[in-house]
Amino acid sequence: MTELTESKTKPKIKFGEGQWGWFYRIFVKTKQVFSEIVEMNLRVWLRPMMVLSILTLILSLAGGPSRLANAQMGMNEMPQDYPYWSEEQQNQYFQGQAEMQSPLFIYVFPALISLSGLWLGWFLLGNILHLMMTFKGSRQSQGAYLNLVAWAAMPFTIRCLVQIVALFATRQVIDEPGLSGFLDVGDSAGLAFLKVLLGMLDIYSFGFVFLLWFGAPIISGLKPEKTWWVTILAVVVFILLAALPIFIMSRLSSLGSIQPYLFF
């Protein structure tokens, strides 16, 4: 009789799904939401990741007209040694600039970069947390930490919504996200890398780190004093790993304002 009662009261939830109420309760009843995730012992990361994917896709596509305008302006700025090029080189230059204005470069590639950054960032950080927490004695599965990262990322849904509204209002993509606008890099590669790191930090990323920090002891089953510093260390390692490809793309990309979404 007891088993029958438990089967009736146990929440019905499919693999990979979560409860829609968690999207707002994660901000007001954080401990309760993470406790419910642990009790369910299922992979409930799909819904938050799908919502983030949809918002990221909308944001990327909405920035297309601005990227097109930047590409068109770039055609009017000739390289300094352009007059010394051969006619064939000049034709190749204009052909390359024209290709940069195609839908493939304006919409498709930026969307793919943003979505791949989102999913790879989620998977990477979840596995870093899993590895470090396992070393500290946690026996939770990899899926538990993927759940933690996905639901702790809910502040980024707010950031996406704010950026989408700002993009439609100003028709300009954000060239210097986060705190990067406070640093003038010049020609220094070191300062350019630091600028990328600062670009990953804003109020929403701090909210994400706080939710990770708060939920880590609940998900891992370890004491808070064991998990808090491990969580911060995992985030630092992740930021350094995530900043490297963004830095390389910022130095090589001529598309402008393509910010890979890597949970920061």
Domain assignment present for 168:
yes
246 within 8 A of 260, measured Cβ to Cβ? yes
The dihedral over CA atoms of 228, 129, 233, 188, expressed in degrees to the nearest 10, equals -150
Dihedral sign from CA coordinates of 221, 222, 228, 230: negative
Domain assignment present for 27:
no
Query: Residue 77 is part of which domain span?
Result: 34-252
Domains contained in the chain, number: 1
Domain assignment present for 198:
yes
Structure tokens at 183: 């640093």
The C-alpha R_g of the chain, in whole angstroms, comes to 22
pLDDT of residue 67: 81
Structure tokens at 237: 């390692």
263 within 8 A of 242, measured Cβ to Cβ? yes
pTM of the model: 0.81
pLDDT of residue 220: 93
Break the chain down into helix, strand, coil percent, rounded to 5: 75, 0, 25
Cite the DSSP H helix spans in the chain: 2-9, 22-28, 30-40, 46-62, 64-75, 87-99, 103, 109-135, 142-152, 155-170, 189-199, 203-220, 224-252
Domain assignment present for 10:
no
Closest C-alpha among 210, 194, 181 to residue 246 = 194
pLDDT of residue 256: 45
**Distance (Å, whole) CA 241 – CA 167:** 28
Q: 30-40 vs 203-220: helix axis angle to the nearest 10?
A: 50
Instruction: Tell me which DSSP letter residue 221 carries.
Output: -
Domain assignment present for 71:
yes
Dihedral sign from CA coordinates of 195, 260, 173, 157: negative
Domain assignment present for 191:
yes
* Rounded average pLDDT per 10-residue block, the chain, 264 residues: 42 58 93 92 91 94 82 68 72 74 85 92 96 93 95 95 88 69 65 76 92 95 92 93 77 52 56
Domain assignment present for 263:
no
Closest C-alpha among 148, 125, 131, 154 to residue 217 = 148
Domain assignment present for 179:
yes
